[in-house]
Amino acid sequence: MKVTINRSILELVEGDITHQDTDAVVNAANPSLLGGGGVDGAIHRAGGPQILEECKTIGGCPTGEARMTIGGRLKARYVIHAVGPIYKDGRQHEPDLLVSAYRSSLGLASRHKIKSVAFSSISTGVYGYPMETAAEIALTTTRRYLEGHPEIQLVRFVLFGMMAYEVYERVLRSMKEAGRLNEGGSS
């Protein structure tokens, strides 16, 4: 599914974040930035040891923030390591921290003249964030950011498996139908 917001494209695809050819891919990292399972494991495996070497020089990242490294052997030139919140009950500032993780990632992209970004679904795996509420946060935060930042031409959400894709598609479609996308056209 693809929508336009002003002149930017926001699209959903089902696939693997490590295969994306955007300028940057966003890793679902932890505060140590020293790797893990899920997306983190896949990106470090596919990208190679240079990514971890650079992560070690950064010295960690607080929850709700993001840091950038090279992409190593990935097609993407850069990896933006975003640290989302561990979901407990939704009343421990998890929503604000998830918004912040997306905004920090997009802000880094703008500052580094990155024009296309592929996101994984932050916090919805090991960190246990319910997929639907996380999708609402991810898509609303991205839509709001793109409304004021035409320098980012493409934001792609790369969903792992059809279930995740269908949740994001349902949320994006409901945003469209509620007129919450001042879009130029969509498919």
In the complex, minimum distance from the CB of residue 151 to ligand APR, in angstroms, rounded to a whole number: 25
Place of tokens 């020089």: 57
Closest CB to ligand APR among 86 and 149?
A: 86
What tokens does 109 get? 């992209």
By CB under 6 A, name the binding residues for ligand APR: 16-18, 28-30, 36-42, 84, 120-127, 158, 160, 164
- Of 144, 151, 158, the C-alpha closest to 8 is 151
State the catalytic residue, choosing from 16, 21, 23, 40: 40
SS3 content of the chain, % helix, strand, coil (to 5): 40, 20, 40
For ligand APR, the closer of residues 13 and 180 by Cβ is 13
Residue 40 a catalytic site member: yes
CA pair distance 62, 83, nearest whole angstrom: 7
Taking the complex as a whole, how short is the minimal distance between the CB of residue 110 and ligand APR, in angstroms? 22
Min separation Cβ 146 and ligand APR, Å: 21
Comparison of 8 and 30: residue with beta carbon closer to ligand APR: 30
Confirm if 6 and 182 have CB atoms less than 8 A apart: yes
Q: CB within 8 A of 19, min separation 6: which ones?
A: 75
| Active-site amino acid positions | 40
